[in-house]
Amino acid sequence: QLSDLQKMTESPLSQFRGVYLPLVLHPLNKTLVKGGKWKDVDSTQEKRRSFLHDFCKKYNSRKKLPTHLVHLVSRIYVEDRHKVLYCEVPKAGCSNWKRVLMVLNGLAASANNISHDDVHYGKHLRKLDSYDLKGIDTRLNTYTKTIFVRDPMERLVSAFRDKFEHPNSYYHPVFGKAIIKKYRHNATDEALKTGSGVKFREFIQYLLDSHRPVGMDIHWEQVSKLCYPCLINYDFIGKFETLEEDANYFLQLVGAPAELKFPKFKDRHSSDERTSAEVVRQYLKELSKEERQMTYDFYYLDYLMFNYTSP
């Protein structure tokens, strides 16, 4: 796969050009880690870090001075007490991560009693782009930077299920109406009026359309465009597939209180089956072979950067 990368991803990788941040793989500070139970997690972590670093070193072009640094860090949350930077990837445990950051920051006593609305709309946490350039630069160079990712197809299907298969006062009227209007032939007046009932195939048609009737959204945007992993040297790469053990190891690394553990609960629609590989398979059956391939191509960089196996 990697041998074909330059030919197949010339366009997606061009987004990185004109920006220069030194690609240096700094060793993790493990002085605060207690006990020997983290050995396997640490070994996995080092492999992920090395893989991403080698990938970026090989395929990233670094020739010019930084441009649009503020834009690059717009998805990164700051926790100053423990010097943590967390880049938010929706549908990869981000709600519970924000709860943890609020506890670390002294804004809540426990992660378990913070509501979904308080997490996402309370504006308790600062983002890195709210600081001046010196503040951004200092934090990028001295704080522990983490990103948590997920298998791209699982993340995509999870986002679709969350936003379109449940009542939603934003996604149905804003995205749903536009999607149904453009991609559903003989749509009923009711569907056009409410935007409810978007089918997965219609959603994919919208995703792959170069002339989308409504813009992209962070819930299905590529991680390569949300967090810029080849421009920002993330110290820790967690995965949704090993979320709890990765998160709890990271909390040890940054010296979090011993009693703080990553929450286990599902943030919303808790009665729904989690979006697993088998659930994804059922949704992908609704697509043609060409649509499946094009959807994979859309997330090609994410698959490569984080060493996920093609579905």
Q: Report how far residue 214's alpha carbon sits from residue 204's, in angstroms, rounded to the nearest whole number.
A: 13
What pLDDT is attached to residue 199?
Answer: 98
Q: Give the pTM.
A: 0.88
Q: Which two tokens stand for residue 209?
A: 């359309």
For 212-228, the pLDDT digits (tens) are 999 999 999 999 999 99
* Residue showing tokens 């109406």: 177
Cα dist from 49 to 158, 196, 300, whole Å? 26, 41, 19
Can you give the pLDDT at residue 248? 96
Average pLDDT of 254-272? 82
Among all chains, which residue has been given the structure tokens 């088998």? 278
DSSP H helices, the chain, are 5-8, 10-13, 39-59, 69-72, 94-104, 116-121, 133-142, 152-164, 171, 177-183, 189-194, 200-208, 223-226, 243-253, 277-284, 289-298, 300-305
Tokens for 9, please give them: 């991803």
Burial 245-268 (b: 16+ CB within 10 A, else e): bbbbbbbbbbbbeeeeebbeeebe
| Structure token digits, residue 300 | 């090609």
Please classify residue 31 by burial: count the beta carbons closer than 10 Å to its beta carbon, then call 0-12 exposed, 13-18 middle and 19+ buried: exposed
Output the pLDDT for position 22.
Answer: 54
pLDDT over threshold 80, residue 68: no
Residue type, 191: A
CA 40 to chain centre: 24
Q: What percent of the chain has pLDDT over 90?
A: 70
pLDDT of residue 10: 42
Beta bridge partners of 238: 148
Identity (one letter) of the amino acid at 58? K
CB 260 within 8 A of CB 108: no
What is the C-alpha to C-alpha distance for residues 28 and 101, in angstroms, rounded to an integer? 20
> Domain limits of the chain?
38-152+219-275
Which residue did the predictor score with more confidence, 290 or 36? 290
Distance (Å, whole) CA 100 – CA 68:
29
d(CA 86, CA 208): 29
Work out the average pLDDT over 225-232: 92
Cβ proximity of 60 and 118 under 8 Å:
no
**Burial environment of residue 90 by CB neighbours within 10 A (0 to 12, 13 to 18, 19 or more):** buried
